Structure formats: structure tokens, C-alpha cells
Amino acid sequence: RRVQVGIVGAGPAGLLLAHLLRRAGVEALILEARSREYLETSPHRIRAGVLEWGTKEMAVMAGVGDRMLREGLEHKGIYLAFDRALQHVNFQILAGHGIWVYGQQYLVRDLIHHHLGAGGEILFEHEVVGLENLEENPVVVYRTPEGQEKQLACEFVVGADGSHSLARQCIPQAKLHQKAYPFAWLGILAETRPAAEELIYASHERGFALFSMRSPTLARNYLQVSLEERLEQWPEERIWEELNLRLGGVAEARPGTILEKSLTPMRSLVVEPMQHGRFFLVGDAAHVVPPTGAKGMNLAFCDVAVLYQALMAYYRDQDRSLLARFTSEALRHVWQAEFFSYWMTTLLHTLPDPFEEKLRQAKLRHLAESPHLQRFLAENYVGLYTSGRY
Ligand code: DHB
């Protein structure tokens, strides 16, 4: 079998790319190791839920935004909580746009629905076991649910298989730029009213806490914990007590039924280059950001926008120059998002080094007082690239 573009992975990046290409008349086929049900409903798939203004726009322009516009929540900005005070940072005033709160797995569900509805094809439960001949005539080797090995010949192959990417290994001599952080996040999803009508990023001596949401009745909260922590050490009462301690009295996290609990280690990773021959990496396969600031999926959408333009230049005008420049073009927004995620992470989490911890507190107080720094935060949070600032 042959297709124009073979895509490994049906996450937000692979799905959006396949859907955009299909709308432009380019045939793409997605191979995904998991089942559709797992992608859409598994509680372990609960990911970030903040869309940059431009990410929301991209979903609308791709024709998959109907449900997002109906059920998502528009936020003007965020709250910062520290030194026992609550401060609102208004992105709409500082950067001209708000943000959109809508769970990543809801968007995945919508993308699958629209892509299949438009006649697109996704091979669920088909595991890719090898990528061959990526310089000349790429071949994707995969296993069917029945265990048969098959081959798909492609003009281009895209690796969109997430943070534990296997496709990533197909870039020979790739450099991995990495950083690990000395803490993790304990995340919960709970049936209760969110702590405030917009997100609260709380920095407290006991550690960072984040109060987010998925709807007016579903709270999504996180606690900074040590790397050695285990979920068994966190019974429900302890979680609610700690969340409230870290709010320092400026708001209240009301206990409710906890639907999901998870631990997330924090790391940064950039793969360079993001391409080899007729093979390209997008999304978490190419880079990972720590979750603070919710850049992951937004960054994946930026990669897809750049690769889509490059593929269309090739298919429309036989112009290969944008494909040749894919890595250098994408790395501009990648490093900007890496920088912002690092900045947010090291600004808000208590740090083990006492000197760095004092510097951090100085930075945070400066942010509270400086409209310039608040604007820096706002511009980055709403998205420098998707809102067309660059
Ligand atoms: C969420 C996650 C984040 O990392 C963040 O910065 C904001 C919100 C969330 O899951 O809702």
C-alpha cells in the first residue's frame, strides 16, 4: 500500500496534520498503537487543558472547533497567589488576547470525530515497528491487531508519537538538549467547583500548587512534590489539606470526589534536527516542556502549522525549500516555549538550593510589581507564535 504522508501517532499533532492535509487534498494515513477508546476515554490520558488564543483559532480554522467553542471556557488571564495575596494578571489587557480552557483529550476526540467523518483514515491498534529508507523511499513497517507485519510506502513520514517517541530514534546523529527538574507534580481531577473562576498559580514555602479546571464542576489541581513521592503517600484528605495550605487563605479548594490521581516528572527536551531526509518530527516526539504554563499541545500545533505549510509548498508548487528549512523554522518557536516553560517552572516552584530560592522570591516580587514583566508573562502565555507576533 502507498500514501503521500504516513503519520505515526494519533495525538493532537498527528491528527491535526492529517486533517489539514486531507482538507487540502493530500492523502495522509495515521497509524496508532492504542485503541480509539483508550485515546478518548482513558483517565491516564488526562493532559493539560489550556489552549493559546491562536491554538483555539487554528482548531476553528481546521473545522474541528464546534464543540470546543460550545463547551470550552474563555479566560481573560490568570491569578498569581503568593505572600498571602492574590493578584490577577489580565492577558487581554496586556497582550490583546485571552486563553481557552478545554481538555486535550476532548480535542483529540473532536479531531478523530471530524477526521473520520470527512473520510480520513486512522489505523488504531496498529503498532509501528520500524521506519526504513527515510532518505529516499520511506517505508513504515507496522503490525496489525492480528499480529501480521505489513509495509506502507510513503512520500513523507511524520513522527508524532509523543514524549516517549520511538520515531525520534530514526534521526541519526540527533542531538538531545535536556534538563531534569528536582521535583514532580501530583495531579488530581475532582468533581468540585474550581478554586476560582480562572486559574490560580500559587507559590508557597511548602511548594507550588496550581488550581485549574475542565468545567465549572470539574477541578484540575496540582501539587509540587518530591521526585521520590508515591501516590500511596497521598490519601484524599492530605491532598485537600495541602492544596488549601498552599493557597494561604486567598481562596478555597473545596474537597470533592477525586476521579484521577497521577504523578508527572518534570523535564525539558529538544531534539535537533527535527528531520532526516523525508522524515519529520512534530510535537512531544521532537520536544518536551515541563507542564507549568501549559505549552505542550500549543507547541505541537505550531510545529504542525510549519510542517503543513512546507508540505503544501511541495505539493502545490514543487517547492522543497520550506521542507529543507523545517527544523530551523520550528526551533524558533520551540526554544521560545522551552524558555517560557523553564521560566515559569523555576519562578513558581520552591528550589532546593537556598541561594537560588532567594533569587526566585526576588523574581516573583519583581513580577508582582512590574507591568513589564507581567506583559512578558502575558505575551508568552497567550502564545507569541500562534497570535502572529513573530
Ligand atoms: C493545566 C496544566 C498546566 O500545566 C498549566 O500550566 C495550566 C493548566 C491543566 O491541566 O489544566
Q: What is the pLDDT of residues 255-312, one digit of tens each?
A: 999 999 999 999 999 999 999 999 999 999 999 999 999 999 999 999 999 999 999 9
Distance CA(5)–CA(28), nearest Å, equals 5
2-76+98-178+267-352: CATH superfamily: FAD/NAD(P)-binding domain (3.50.50.60)
**291 part of the active site:** yes
What spacing in Å lies between the alpha carbon of 197 and ligand 1's midpoint? 14
What spacing in Å lies between the alpha carbon of 119 and ligand 1's midpoint? 33
Cell of 256: 470533592
pLDDT at position 359 over 80? yes
Over the range 262-273, which residues count as b (16 or more CB within 10 Å of their CB) and which as e?
A: eeeebebbbbbb
Average pLDDT over all residues of the chain? 96
pLDDT at 390: 44
What spacing in Å lies between the alpha carbon of 291 and ligand 1's midpoint? 7
At residue 387 the predicted structure's pLDDT band, cuts being 50, 70 and 90, is low
Is the distance from CB of 314 to CB of 326 less than 8 angstroms? no
Residue from 210, 266, 292 to probe ligand 1 pocket by mutation (most atoms less than 8 Å from CB): 210
Q: How many CB atoms lie within 10 A of CB 35?
A: 13
Cell of 293: 504554563
Give the alpha-carbon dihedral of 264, 50, 308, 281, to 10 degrees.
-10
pLDDT at 56: 95
pLDDT at 47: 79
Distance CA(291)–CA(108), nearest Å, equals 18
Distances (CA, A) of 168 to 247, 284, 287: 40, 10, 10
Distance CA(78)–CA(94), nearest Å, equals 12
Distance CA(368)–CA(363), nearest Å, equals 9
Distance CA(279)–CA(327), nearest Å, equals 11
Q: How many CB atoms lie within 10 A of CB 70?
A: 8
326-348 helix and 354-369 helix, angle to the nearest 10 degrees: 100
From the candidates 142, 222, 308, 381, give the one annotated as an active-site residue: 381
What spacing in Å lies between the alpha carbon of 266 and ligand 1's midpoint? 13
**56 part of the active site:** no
- Interface predicted TM-score (ipTM) of this complex, two decimals: 0.96
Which of the 8 DSSP states describes residue 129?
A: E
pLDDT at position 389 over 50? no
**363 part of the active site:** no
Average pLDDT for 186-191: 96
Q: Whose CA is nearest to atom 1 of ligand 1?
A: 48
Q: What is the pLDDT of residues 128-152, one digit of tens each?
A: 999 999 999 999 999 999 999 999 9
From the candidates 201, 222, 314, 385, give the one annotated as an active-site residue: 201
Q: How many CB atoms lie within 10 A of CB 98?
A: 22
**201 part of the active site:** yes
Distance CA(341)–CA(343), nearest Å, equals 5
**372 part of the active site:** no
From the candidates 56, 204, 291, 349, give the one annotated as an active-site residue: 291
pLDDT at 42: 75
